[in-house]
Amino acid sequence: MTTGTPPPTAPRRSRARTFIPLAVAAWVVLEIWLLTVVADVAGGFTVLLLLIGGVVLGAVVMKSAGRRAFRNLTEMLQRMPGQPGATTASPAAPSGSKGNGFLMLGGLLIMIPGLISDVAGLLLLVPPVRAMLGRRAEKSLERRMRTATPGSLSDAFQQARIHRPDGKVVQGEVIRESDTQPDDNPRPPLTP
């Protein structure tokens, strides 16, 4: 006896869930192979020095990018309207605020043991490469925001990006129910 309903099927696995683990495994194998080749040619001590130097350089890059990001955030918050000495105009992003995320990613890639990740991290330290990747990431994000379905999480981000000409972002709805009164007998605090 059958009910006429098809058997439940498992959702299809996305391409990213299939290929990303394979790509990471291939990358790790390639990194290990390349380190063994360099160790055969230059010696194990040289590879050890390269790895230690990569960790130190990556830490320095990440620390400086983090400090720069924090400094830019502090400057922007100090220029917000309502702060002492702030102008009435909307705060503009500091001139050096672009690329901190890519700098931190570059530092992280340099810290990861391996020569391929070191090269990728060093490429992210080059300002034109960071600028190009930033433009591409921004275009990709804008394209995904335009194709977002209403009510999705990306729709919420798109709504947050809408700015008025005066620089203020005011979105929301206030509903006041006048017939409800605050509770006259508040509950006492719970004690252990």
**pLDDT, tens digit (0-9, with 9 covering 90-100), for 32-52:** 999 999 999 999 899 999 999
pLDDT value for 128: 92
Closest CA to 157 of 167, 165, 168, 169: 169
Neighbours of 135 (CB within 10 A): 10
pLDDT value for 119: 93
Lowest pLDDT segment from 116-125, 126-135, 137-146, 152-161: 152-161
**Residue written as token pair 């990861």:** 112
**Residue written as token pair 């400057």:** 75
pLDDT digits (tens, 9 = 90+) for 109-122: 999 998 999 999 99
Higher-scoring residue by pLDDT: 184, 112: 112
Instruction: Inform me whether the pLDDT recorded for 30 exceeds 90.
Output: yes
pLDDT-based confidence at residue 2 (cuts at 50, 70, 90): low
pTM above 0.75, yes or no: no
pLDDT value for 120: 93
pLDDT value for 61: 92
User: 59 near 107, Cβ under 8 Å?
Assistant: yes
What is the spatial distance between Cα 65 and Cα 157, in angstroms, rounded to a whole number?
A: 25
